[in-house]
Structure 1
Amino acid sequence: MKRDTLRIGGQELSSRFFIGTGLFPNPYIQQEAIKASGAEVLTFAIRRIQLDRSEDDSILQHVQEGGFRYLPNTSGASTAEEAVRIARLARASGLSDWIKVEISANERTLLPDPIETLKATEILVKEGFTVLPYTSDDPVLCKRLEEAGAAAVMPGAAPIGTGLGLLNPYHIGLIVEEANVPIIVDAGLGSVADAAQAMELGVSGVLMNTPVAKAKDPVRMAEAMKLAIEAGRLAYLSGRIEKKKYASASSGFNSLKLK
């Protein structure tokens, strides 16, 4: 059986679970949840990191020995110029050359600004960053971001932190069909059912923070999400049965006559 691996920007990943580091009750639970998730990629807002002393930063000091791939994000940026400046600071500090472009157009909904996101992606790709833009579930925009050089595209399932699940599975399916780069569903998921559903649509991975960090038991929830992502991926690769309008017997009748 062919090995099922995820490759982004030349980096091979065995886990398809990308996890955020914020909102956890304390650093110990954060660390245990990350461990239970099996995630290799950790994301965090650059604005929450002490770039001049990243080795002592409260967010990073507890996970530095894990061999993780850091995916800093530009959360809080409202323009492409601001996002680019934040990304440059992160790379200059030695944090990572991977960057999740996150530019919000509205503080209430935190929905991504499509124009500024595309602009920032184009600039950062030219500067040699491995860019993973967070965007809306617009198939056309996702394709434009891919064409701009994004290493992966990250459409949201629903607004950040809402836990509403996949509001438009049809669009996510279209995005996957058209994509030649990994599609990572980011934002809005709330349950293991949501994670499995996203993976069954053929996405390459799932990024989440709130559903794990804000669960009553974040460590167990991290493991549950890990299993859901793995199950959803396996189901997608296996190929589900077609939906039918009417019933069909699961076992046929034989020709023997009862006496």
Structure 2
Amino acid sequence: MSSEQHQKDGLTIGGRTVNSRLFLGTGRFPSPAVMQQALEQCGADVITFAVRRVNLDWVQDDAILQHLEDRGLTYLPNTSGATNAAEAVRIANLARAAGLGSWIKVEISANPRTLLPDPIETLKATELLTLAGFTVLPYTSDDPVLCKRLEEVGAAAVMPGGSPIGTGLGILNPYNLGLIVEEANVPVIVDAGLGSAVDAAQAAELGADGILVNTPIAKAKDPVAMAKAMAMAFEAGRLSRAAGRIPKKRYASASSTPEGVPEAYWAEGDLGGRSISPERTAEQSAHTGLQAGSDAGAERPVTVKGG
């Protein structure tokens, strides 16, 4: 696949294909205008927002959504604030009834300090909402076994966190994320904890199908520039993974061969690199000494006469 084809490669979730693999959260931006500019720069097709922050009686007049309804975006309302499966199901039904669509991001946390997802309640809610006809994208911990269970009960994609929401700590457990990617038969979207473009690139190189970003863009010194950086970094990471990185090695190896180096006699070293053979070194030293002697008139053999 060429780099141009790779960049146009869409992401399909629940039968719907989106062009951008960066999903954008809409909270914490300095203003709706800055959020719109960031959206334009990152090219996101999917935006997420907390249902509890939307006026469900007048969705068309919502402070955020009223500026976005003509963009052809896919809405991914989330159940942020839910502490159990029953609350998440109720929030999802309210969102769908208000015309926000059937995509739902399950987000359940019982600990306001860590905001880590509750695995048991998340699994319950995912199963119930799938049976109710929703396209469910659960936010979960980076547990490979749990992600597989979520897939088995109907998750259209799994969204493991790189680290706790809003911390900017990046991907703390790349090994687990790699296992999740290897085992998954649905898209893997890294959600939460990313801090900068380097984390976006790492997620892509580990094989993630997409990322969901909010705080690192919204709270950056320049949100608009960071939005562009995040999108570009993720695509760079995908290209890097497709190109294939070199294997890691313990010792160095020269990037150029010794051919053409004057007076150099090389032999294979024990460490995988190249070293000068002792025999060649001695031979070269003798040769150099004779050469120097012939050039310098003072260095001639001396005959010692008896006394």
TM-score by length of 2: 0.82
For 2:99, the equivalent position in structure 1 comes to 94
Aligned to 1:38: 43
Other structure's SS at 2:58 match: helix
> Equivalent residue of 1:132, what SS?
strand
Q: CA deviation at 1:257?
A: 7.3
- Is the partner of 1:100 in helix, strand or coil? strand
Which residue is equivalent to 2:228? 223
Q: What residue in structure 2 maps to residue 148 of structure 1?
A: 153
Secondary structure in 1 aligned to 2:90?
A: helix
Determine the structure 2 residue equivalent to 1:125: 130
Q: Report SS of the residue matched to 2:139.
A: strand
Opposite residue 79 of structure 1, the aligned amino acid is N
Map Cα deviations across residues 54-97 of structure 1 (whole Å, 9 max, x no partner): 11100101111111000000000001000000001111111110
1:68 aligns with 2:76: no
Deviation at 1:39, TM superposition (A): 0.5
Q: Which residue of 2 aligns with 1:203?
A: 208
What amino acid maps onto 1:43 in structure 2?
T
Match of residue 104 from structure 1:
109
Paired residue total: 258
Deviation of the 1:253 alpha carbon: 3.6
Question: Which residue does the alignment assign to 2:58?
Answer: 53
Q: RCO (CA 8 Å, sep 6+): is it higher in 1 or 2?
A: 1
Letter in 2 for 1:151: A
Cα distance between partner residues in 1 of 2:246 and 2:36: 39
Work out the CA distance in 2 between the residues paired with 1:125 and 1:238. 37
Aligned residue number for residue 165 of structure 2 = 160
Match among 183, 186, 198 for residue 181 of structure 1: 186
Whole-angstrom CA distance in 1 between matches of 2:246 and 2:104:
38
- 1:214 is aligned to 2:214: no
The answer as to 2:23 corresponding to 1:5 is: no
Gapped runs of 5+ residues in structure 1? Answer: none
Structure-2 separation of matches of 1:35 and 1:111: 30
| 192, 199, 204: which one aligns with 2:197 | 192
CA distance in 1, matches of 2:60, 2:12: 27
Q: Give the superposition deviation at 1:216.
A: 1.0
* Deviations, residues 165-195 of structure 1 (Å, cap 9, x unaligned): 0110110001001111100000001011111
Q: Which has the larger radius of gyration?
A: 2
TM-score, normalised via structure 1 length: 0.97
- CA–CA distance in 2 between the matches of 1:161 and 1:115? 23
**RMSD (Å), alpha carbons:** 1.2
Identity of aligned residues (%): 69
Is 1:15 matched up with 2:53? no
Could you give the per-residue CA deviations for residues 144-171 of structure 1, whole angstroms, max 9, x where no partner exists?
0011110000000000000000110110
